[in-house]
Amino acid sequence: MTAPTAAQEAFLRAFHAERPAVTAHAFADGRAPDGRSGHEILRDRVAGARRVLDPGCGDGVLLDLLARTGGRRPAGVDLSCEALALARRRPRLRAAALAEARAQQLPFAAGTFDACVCHMALMPMGDVDRVAAETARVLSPGGVLACAIGGGALGGEAYELFGRLLRTAVERAPAEQRIPPLGDRRARTREGLAEILVPAGFSAPEQETVPIDPSGPADRVRAALSGIYDTGPLASDTVRRLRETFLAEAAGPAGPDGRVPCGFRIHVVTARPR
């Protein structure tokens, strides 16, 4: 493990130790135009798979959805023992294979899985070329990788507002209150993912861009958006000011019912081993 990757993973472990349920909280209310969450979209992309691995499963939201199909054998790994503890408490995951491990060194034999799914977890991973190679290794012939990556704000709504306020707060914060550079920028676009996945043995990835709408009461939207990694090291008074400023500025575009418009895109990327 390189020094930058070690620093990234130390930060991710510490962040998720304090916020082990951040995955469930951050994406609980967001829905695509057809009513599905991002997790449900990934679930449906691997509908025929029986053995499914989530190599960044967090507190088990996606695995729990997958386990609702009878006879399916879900498995997951994560760096965070605290998040995995929450996943193990889910009744449907009591028999799931859950391990504290790195996606760069999966503790499974070659060809173990019919599908791998990854919801917003690929982007912050270091040594992503190794992640791709390990994912290809554990997939069986005919298997599929389905992952969701962030596509940014839709524009003119609360997600964009929060991002602007957060950038200002981070720029003003001392260096020790900033996160280390996370992940590989190639993992944020289809073209970049092709550079990663094709040499690892995958076909050229396909991509669909889906808008997600987590609109709702201002403080609920703010709480969901606060799951962004950059908020983790900020001082408590900085976080408080960020909350107060967001709530004040979000009040303007709120509708008569108090709902604040919010929207972002995800790119749903699929690829198959060659």
The three-state DSSP-derived secondary structure of 108-162 is: CCCCCEEEEEEECCCCCCCCHHHHHHHHHHHEEEEEEEEEEEEEEECCCCHHHHH
**The pLDDT value given to residue 30:** 94
Average pLDDT over residues 227-251: 94
Rounded to whole angstroms, the Cα distance separating 146 from 204 reads 13
pLDDT band of residue 254 (cuts 50, 70, 90) is confident
pLDDT band of residue 155 (cuts 50, 70, 90) is confident
**The pLDDT value given to residue 3:** 64
pLDDT band of residue 257 (cuts 50, 70, 90) is confident
Average pLDDT over residues 95-100: 96
**Which of 121, 107, 10 lies closest to 59 in space, CA to CA?**
121
Are 178 and 169 in contact by the 8 Å Cβ rule? The answer is no
Are 202 and 145 in contact by the 8 Å Cβ rule? The answer is yes
168-171, long-range: CB < 8 A, 24+ apart? 169/234, 169/238, 169/241, 169/242, 170/230, 170/234
Are 27 and 266 in contact by the 8 Å Cβ rule? The answer is no
Residues 6+ away with beta carbon under 8 Å from 88: 60, 94, 98
pLDDT band of residue 137 (cuts 50, 70, 90) is very high
Average pLDDT over residues 57-79: 95
Mean pLDDT (the chain, rounded): 94
**Which of 27, 17, 11, 243 lies closest to 125 in space, CA to CA?**
11
The answer on pLDDT for 33 being more than 90 is yes
pLDDT band of residue 34 (cuts 50, 70, 90) is very high
The answer on pLDDT for 77 being more than 90 is yes
| Residue the block writes with tokens 């209310």 | 29
| Residue the block writes with tokens 């879900």 | 74
